């Protein structure tokens, strides 16, 4: 054996998975690799289960052609056969989806209506906790033969680990931020329902904007999870300013204006200390903290960015934040009525706020009210 035959570099076909990419990019890459062996797999999709609401939500997918399901959620209780897969903890093959085409479930009808004939559905578990489903769909009937499933199962578990890794990173990050928040007086100023409302307003806007701005389900979900952190930098603002009952003077407001930059720094330290800097959409979190007080006309802070120099996630958070600040009680102000707050958003469109984000709220006043009903303040500051 020559030395060259004994020892040689190998091009690892999955090397790209080492890179710090959003999960959707990794999934798309893996899909290409899988298709080299199994060209009949036309779609991979992940739906996540939200324990709080019992909803199953589309999260990310890799699809040849248009996706039948985007920004879509369904109560798991209403998807009977999926619930059964979860309870049995075993994957399920459907060799001929046409039998579902006239079925009761909206999501199954949609998948079948795009011509998918066969599906293989794996439940995803992290330790003992159910986290969602992985779907393999094929345009060919009877595609998922047992010999193929042996290998597809391995890919399935690889994808499951990628999902778990990402969710664990996000959960760790949120827990660290939450711990930092709870160790300061900032917890007295910011209520839990403010956090929930801000998250839901931001998701409402993001979903409305998704088609036009090309926001993926994964991006929308991250905007939802991270927009409540926009003010985390306020944990670094002295109580004398943070909790001042009246109007801030100029010097005090200058101190207050450091909170976006402080927030960005706190998030960077946490990412660094927990070695989390590598998961796909950390920039969404950073940008929301740092840029949620930028204004479309450049009059905002800290950087004075203009228009679409401001990342879309920050423009979305700004509208969610201001609407909630106006309609809530603060140490320095009484709550405004919705009508007054909507009128203010309208006035701020194109100067301070992004018009598309404002319109997304104004178009969905009923949903805004639903969010307010659901997350009321109890015992306000």
Residues acting as catalytic residues: 234
Indicate the DSSP class of residue 381: -
Shorter beta-carbon distance to ligand C2E: residue 139 or 325: 325
Shorter beta-carbon distance to Fe ion: residue 242 or 360: 242
Residue 231 contacts Fe ion per CB under 5 A? yes
Segment 185 to 214, residues that bind ligand SIN, using CB under 6 A? none
Residue 134 contacts ligand SIN per CB under 6 A? no
Site string for ligand C2E, 222-251 (x = CB under 6 A): ---------x------------x--xx---
Alpha helix locations (H) across the chain? 3-6, 23-37, 80-88, 106-113, 146-182, 186-189, 192-213, 217-226, 239-242, 250-256, 259-273, 282-291, 312-327, 338-348, 355-362, 365-374
Shorter beta-carbon distance to ligand C2E: residue 119 or 191: 191
Residue 2, by phi and psi: left (phi above 0), alpha (psi -120 to 50) or beta? beta
Using CB under 6 A, which of 31, 40, 86, 107 touches ligand SIN? 107
CA dihedral 20, 177, 299, 332 (to 10 degrees): 170
Give the burial class of 81: count Cβ atoms within 10 A of its Cβ; 0-12 exposed, 13-18 middle, 19 or more buried.
Answer: middle
80 binds, among ligand SIN, Fe ion, ligand C2E, none (CB under 5 to 8 A by kind): ligand SIN
Q: For residues 171 and 174, what is the distance between their CA atoms, to the nearest angstrom?
A: 5
Segment 309 to 328, residues that bind Fe ion, using CB under 5 A? 321
197 binds, among ligand C2E, Fe ion, ligand SIN, none (CB under 5 to 8 A by kind): none
Cβ proximity of 224 and 203 under 8 Å? yes
Indicate the DSSP class of residue 216: -
Total residues interacting with ligand C2E, rule: CB under 6 A: 14
Q: Give the footprint of ligand SIN on this chain (CB under 6 A).
A: 45, 47, 58, 69, 79-82, 94, 100, 103, 105, 107-108, 111, 119, 135
Q: Give the footprint of Fe ion on this chain (CB under 5 A).
A: 231, 321
């Amino acid at each position: 054996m020559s030395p060259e035959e004994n020892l040689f570099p190998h091009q690892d076909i999955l090397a790209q998975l080492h890179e710090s990419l959003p999960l959707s990019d990794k999934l798309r890459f893996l899909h290409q690799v899988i298709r080299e062996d199994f060209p009949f797999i036309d779609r991979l999709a992940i739906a996540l289960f939200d324990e709080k609401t019992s909803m199953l939500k589309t999260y990310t997918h890799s699809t040849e052609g248009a996706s039948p399901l985007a920004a879509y959620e369904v109560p798991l209780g209403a998807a009977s056969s999926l619930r059964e897969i979860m309870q049995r903890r075993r994957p399920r093959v459907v060799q001929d989806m046409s039998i579902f085409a006239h079925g009761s479930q909206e999501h199954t009808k949609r998948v079948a209506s795009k011509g998918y004939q066969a599906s293989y559905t794996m439940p995803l578990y992290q330790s003992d906790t159910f986290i969602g489903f992985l779907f393999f769909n094929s345009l060919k009937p009877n595609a998922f033969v047992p010999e193929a499933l042996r290998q597809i199962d391995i890919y399935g578990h690889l994808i499951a680990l990628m999902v778990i890794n990402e969710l664990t990173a996000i959960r760790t990050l949120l827990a660290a931020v939450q711990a930092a928040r709870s160790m300061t007086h900032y917890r007295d100023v910011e209520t839990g329902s403010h956090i929930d409302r801000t998250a839901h307003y931001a998701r409402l806007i993001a979903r409305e904007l998704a088609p036009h701005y090309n926001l993926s389900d994964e991006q929308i979900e991250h905007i939802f999870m991270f927009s409540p952190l926009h003010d985390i930098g306020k944990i670094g603002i002295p109580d004398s300013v943070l909790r001042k009952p009246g109007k801030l003077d100029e010097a005090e407001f200058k101190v207050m204006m450091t909170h976006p930059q402080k927030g960005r720094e706190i998030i960077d330290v946490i990412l660094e200390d927990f070695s989390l800097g590598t998961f796909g959409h950390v920039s969404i979190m950073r940008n929301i903290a740092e840029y949620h007080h930028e204004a479309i006309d450049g009059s905002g802070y800290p950087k004075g960015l203009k228009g679409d120099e401001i990342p879309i996630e920050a423009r979305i958070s700004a509208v969610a934040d201001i609407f909630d600040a106006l309609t809530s009680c603060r140490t320095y102000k009484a709550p405004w009525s919705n009508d007054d707050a909507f009128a203010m958003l309208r006035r701020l469109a194109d100067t301070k706020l992004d018009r598309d984000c404002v319109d997304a709220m104004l178009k969905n006043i009923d949903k805004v009210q639903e969010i307010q009903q659901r997350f009321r303040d109890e015992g306000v500051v």
